[in-house]
Chains A and B, each alone.
Chain A
Amino acid sequence: KNEVEQSPQNLTAQEGEFITINCSYSVGISALHWLQQHPGGGIVSLFMLSSGKKKHGRLIATINIQEKHSSLHITASHPRDSAVYICAVPSGVGNQFYFGTGTSLTVIP
């Protein structure tokens, strides 16, 4: 059983499209993290959120604690947004995390 499920697994979009990536989790959490990994690159923390919504540029992250669900939205997508997006939640044990398997996004010019 996966504590964190992401969908879709793969996503291809045309430049300019609105993108939504979903994350569902089964554990009680204090905060959820969205991470970004470009091909062959390092992993960058995009958002950490415990309620409501956060916005950074064209990226918006929302969370519904009651439904145990979070979404990452990208407005006016661009080829440079092509990356793997990973959702992570604390496991409650030693500050460890459960990770989703990632959503691979490709934005075509």
Chain B
Amino acid sequence: DAGITQSPRYKITETGRQVTLMCHQTWSHSYMFWYRQDLGHGLRLIYYSAAADITDKGEVPDGYVVSRSKTENFPLTLESATRSQTSVYFCASSGDIGDNSPLHFGNGTRLTVT
């Protein structure tokens, strides 16, 4: 089935460790996004990508790194995790702007940094 898959669903890590959250979509959508969701802030954009090898910063990019070597994958790496990065992370994808396509979300990754 077509869809967008995030892994892991839950992750506990220690401060200072590197963590990678995975995101895979099967629609061949051009655009992919990483959001974090925190109480009182709603969804905030970390990074997005318009196509393979094209990425750009969102509202809260500090402490995160992304890559997009293949259209279907968009991993998010926390290079040195901090407690402030404890959050729920959502990956999303959509088609080209002119397509007016829906925004599809993964099921989220709940990350706890101790």
Interface residues of B (CB under 8 A from A): 30-31, 33, 41-43, 45, 48, 50, 56, 58, 90, 92, 94, 96-97, 100-108
Query: Could you list 27 A-B pairs, sorted by A, with CB under 8 Å?
Result: A30-B100, A31-B100, A33-B102, A33-B103, A41-B107, A42-B90, A42-B105, A42-B106, A42-B107, A42-B108, A43-B90, A43-B92, A43-B108, A44-B105, A45-B104, A45-B105, A50-B100, A90-B97, A94-B31, A94-B48, A94-B56, A95-B31, A95-B97, A96-B33, A99-B42, A100-B42, A101-B41
A98 to B55 CA separation, bound complex (whole angstroms): 19
A74 to B94 CA separation, bound complex (whole angstroms): 26
Q: Is the CB of B100 within 8 A of A48?
A: yes
